A and B are shown apart, each in its own frame.
Chain A
Amino acid sequence: MTTTVFIPRDTTALSMGADDVVQALKFQSKAITDDITIVRNGSRGLFYLEPLVEVMTPKGRVAYGPVQVEDVESLLAQGLLDGNSDHPLYLGFTEEIPFLAKQQRLTFIRAGIIDPTNIDEYIDHSGFSGLTNAFAMLDQDNDNGRQAIVDEIKTSGLRGRGGAAFPAGIKWQTVLDAKAKAPEQQKYIVCNADEGDSGTFSDRLLMEADPFCLIEGMIIAGLAVGASQGYIYLRSEYPQAKNILEQAITIAYQQHYLGKDIQQSGQTFDLEVRIGAGAYICGEETSLLESLEGKRGLVRAKPPLPAIEGLFGQPTIVNNVISLASVPIIMEKGAQYYQDFGVGRSRGTLPFQLAGNIKQGGLVELAFGTSLADLVNDFGAGSYSGKPIKAIQVGGPLGAYLPEHQWPTELDYEAFAKMEAVLGHGGIVVFDDSVDMTAQARFAMEFCVAESCGKCTPCRIGSVRGVEVIDKMTKTHQERSEKSTEQLAELNTLLVDLCDTMTDGSLCAMGGMTPIPVRSILNHFSDDFVATTDKFNVKETN
C-alpha cells in the first residue's frame, strides 16, 4: 500500500529546510519501501513546528515536527511511515494539536490539508461550491442576481481585512451601481496582495496554501459587480506565492474556471498576477492603482473613490487577499453562518498572526472577541527567549505598541480604536524586555522616511523631522545638563505637535498613522526614554 507523506512547500517551511527533508526522506526511505508518495501541501500555519511532516494513517494524519534532515534516519527507524509514536518529534494526530484544534477555521479551512495546485482536491474539499451558488443566483436574471450576491456580502458583515475595515458589501454596492465609462466599459476587481506590514503573513499563507480560494473569491466578486477582468497585485518579496498563484491560474484556465463562458455559465472572468517592486506605499489602494497603471506609486486624493474611478478611471473593487478569500465560504454556507461568528460590529473570523519573539509563532484563525493575552499566552506560549514580554505591537509598523495592562482588551476593531490602537491586518509582534522602546519609536519615523511616497508634506517632511526630534531627545538625555529637563519637555511637546500635524494633514494612512506607534510609546513607555539613557550613562562613568 502506498504511504502518503505531507511536507509543506510554503515559504516558512522552505526557510526552515523543508526541501532538504524531502530529499533525505526520498533517499533514505528507499531502504524500507519504494511505495511512498510525498505531497507538497501548504502550511497549516503551525510555523513553530515547521518543517511539519505528516503521515496518512487509516485513523487520520499523524504529525512530526519540527523535522530536520538529521532526524529523518531515526524517524524512519522508529516507524514514521506507520505513524508510530515512539519518536520524540511525534505530535499525535495533526487535528488534535491544541494550537490547531482550538482555532475556528473558515477562510483557512483547507490550508495545509490539500496540495495547493491540485484543483480536484480543492473541489473535493467543497471548493467552488460558493461559485456554484453565485451562478444559481445569476441564473434567473443577471441584474437581480448581482444584487443578491452583493446583499449576501452585506449581510455577512464582512469588513475589509486589509486594515481599514471598511464594509466590503458597501464597496461592492458602489461598484455595482457605478457605470463604467466608454470606450472600454470595463469594471475591475483588484486584489491587494501587497502585504508589507511586518508581522503579517496571512495573505502569503493563503496564496501559498489555497490559491484557488482567492481565485474563486475574485470570480464571485466579478460576477457580483459585472467585472470581467481581475488583477492580483502581489509584492515582489513573495516569489513562492507568485509561483504557486501562477500555476493555479493556469490550471483554472485549463479547467474553464477562468476565461470565457466559465463552466458553461455564459460569464467571463480573466485574471492576471502583477508584481510590485518593493514599495510599501503600494499597499495603499490608490497608490497600488497608480502602480498597476505603470506609474510611480503616488497616492491619489480621494474622492473620487476607486469604487467609482479606479483602475484606468473605471469602477474598481480593491479588496485585500483575506477579504476576497472569505467570500467563497460566505457564498457556500450563507451570510448568516459567517455573521454568527464575532462580536459587535466585527463579524466573522480574523486570521491572527503571532510573530516576533514568540515561542509558538504561526497563524491563528479565530472569531473576533478573543483577547491578546489569550492569544499570546495560550497559543503563543510566551516569548521565544523565555524573558518577560514587554510590549506587543499589533497591526503592523503603523500600529500601536501595547503595554501589559492593555493585553486583556477584546480583539475587535472598535475596542482597539478606543485605546488609540489598530487591529489592522491582525499581525501581532511580541517583544521581550530587551527591547529599546526609544529605538522602536525612532524606527517608526525612519520607516516612514524610507517608504513615504513623497506626495504630501506632513508625511514626507514630518517623518524626517520626527527622526531628528527623537535623536535630539536621546542626546539631551545623555548630556544630562541642568537645562535638560526643561529642554526635554519642550522636545516632547514638539514631537506631540508633529504627530498631530502628520495625523491631521497627511493625504493617506502612511503619514496619518505613523504617529500611532510613536504616541503609544510616549504614552505607555515614557520611562524607557530615561531608562535607556541611564544605562548608557552608567556604562560611561564606569
Chain B
Amino acid sequence: MTIDEIKKKTQQIVANKKSLPGALLPILHDIQHEFGHIPEQALSIIGQSLNQTEAEIFGVISFYAHFRMQQTGRHVIEICRGEACQSMGSKSLEQAAQSQLDIKYNQISKDNNFTLEPVYCLGNCACAPSVKVAETVYGRMDSEKFARLTDKLSTYKINVGEIV
C-alpha cells in the first residue's frame, strides 16, 4: 500500500467516526483493523481532525497494549499469562512456543508467519491454558497441540487454475 493510499483510507475512517463522543479509541481500532497496525502517517491526520497534537495521539496508542505501530507476522498468537493458565502449566507452554517459533514475545518469526504476544486473561479460565489467534480462542493447550496449530496456520490453500 502506498503512503497516499494509507492517508486516504485513514481520512475516510476518521471522517466516519470523528463525530462520536470520545472518538479516539474507535478510530484507532478501525485503523488497526484496516492496516494490522497504526501507521505513522495516521497520527497527524487523526490529530488534526480531533484537534489534538500528534504527541497526545501517540501517548494514547502507547498506553494501550492492544495498539501497535509496527507490522506483525501473518498471525498474531496471544498466550494467556493469567493465574488460572499458570496453574495449568502455561509457563512451560510459553517456553515451548518461544523455542518452537524461535522468537521471544513481541517478535516476528523468521518466516514472517507469526508474532507472539502475552495476554492477561482471555476469560477461558475453566479450560486453561489458552491461546488466541485472531478471534479464535483455543483451550486446554499444550506444546503438542500448539505445534499442530502453528502447522495448520502456516499451511495455505493454493488455488490451482483449471486445466484448459
Does A associate with B in a complex? yes
> Which residues of A pack against B, CB within 8 Å?
11-12, 14-16, 47-48, 50, 195-201, 203-204, 236-240, 274-280, 291-297, 312, 353-358, 361-362, 384, 393, 397, 427, 429-432, 435, 440, 443, 447, 450-451
Interface residues of B in 59-93 (CB under 8 A from A): 59-60, 63-67, 82-88
Residues of chain B within 8 A (CB-CB) of A199 are 82-84, 125
Quick check: which of B5-13, B24-32, B96-104 contacts chain A, the rest being far away? B24-32
A198 and B121 contact, CB distance less than 8 A: yes
Interface residues of B in 117-136 (CB under 8 A from A): 119-128, 130, 132, 135-136
The answer for the CA separation of A361 and B140 in the assembled complex, in Å, is: 12
Contact pick for A237, options B64, B86, B121, CB 8 Å: B121
Residues of chain B within 8 A (CB-CB) of A427 are 125
Q: B23 at the A/B interface (Cβ < 8 Å)?
A: yes
A397 and B82 contact, CB distance less than 8 A: yes
B88 and A384 contact, CB distance less than 8 A: yes
A357 and B88 contact, CB distance less than 8 A: yes
Residues of chain B within 8 A (CB-CB) of A447 are 120
B138 and A200 contact, CB distance less than 8 A: no
A239 and B135 contact, CB distance less than 8 A: yes
Contact pick for A15, options B59, B63, B88, B138, CB 8 Å: B138
The answer for the CA separation of A451 and B63 in the assembled complex, in Å, is: 10
Known: A14-B137, A277-B65, A356-B83. A201 touches B123 (CB 8 A): yes
The answer for the CA separation of A397 and B124 in the assembled complex, in Å, is: 15
Nearest B-chain residue to A289, judged by Cβ: B22
A277 and B83 contact, CB distance less than 8 A: no
Determine which residue in A195, A197, A297, A451 has the highest number of CB atoms from chain B within 10 A of its CB, and name it: A197
Residues of chain B within 8 A (CB-CB) of A50 are 127
Contact pick for A278, options B65, B85, B123, B130, CB 8 Å: B65
- Would you give the shortest CB distance from A183 to chain B, in whole angstroms? 13
Additional pairs, 8, CB under 8 Å, beyond known A16-B139, A48-B126, A200-B123: A15-B127, A16-B140, A199-B82, A236-B29, A274-B26, A297-B63, A312-B22, A435-B87
B120 and A198 contact, CB distance less than 8 A: yes
Majority DSSP secondary structure for residues of A touching B: mixed
Contact pick for A294, options B23, B120, B132, B138, CB 8 Å: B23
Residue-wise, chain B 18-46 has the 8 Å CB interface mask toward A (1 for contact) of: 00011111101100000000000000000
Determine which residue in B26, B29, B59, B84 has the highest number of CB atoms from chain A within 10 A of its CB, and name it: B84
Known: A294-B60, A361-B126, A431-B87. A196 touches B65 (CB 8 A): no
The answer for the CA separation of A279 and B33 in the assembled complex, in Å, is: 18
What are some 13 contacts across the A-B interface (CB < 8 A)? A14-B137, A195-B121, A198-B85, A201-B125, A236-B29, A277-B25, A279-B64, A294-B50, A312-B22, A353-B126, A355-B84, A435-B87, A443-B86
Nearest B-chain residue to A453, judged by Cβ: B63
- Would you give the shortest CB distance from B15 to chain A, in whole angstroms? 16
Nearest A-chain residue to B121, judged by Cβ: A198
The answer for the CA separation of A540 and B96 in the assembled complex, in Å, is: 24
The answer for the CA separation of A200 and B128 in the assembled complex, in Å, is: 12
Contact pick for B87, options A15, A48, A292, A356, CB 8 Å: A356
Residues of chain B within 8 A (CB-CB) of A195 are 121, 123
- Would you give the shortest CB distance from B43 to chain A, in whole angstroms? 14
- Would you give the shortest CB distance from A381 to chain B, in whole angstroms? 13
Determine which residue in A199, A238, A354, A440 has the highest number of CB atoms from chain B within 10 A of its CB, and name it: A199
Residues of chain A within 8 A (CB-CB) of B88 are 356-357, 384
Residues of chain A within 8 A (CB-CB) of B121 are 195-198, 200, 237
Residues of chain B within 8 A (CB-CB) of A296 are 59-60, 63
- Would you give the shortest CB distance from A536 to chain B, in whole angstroms? 16
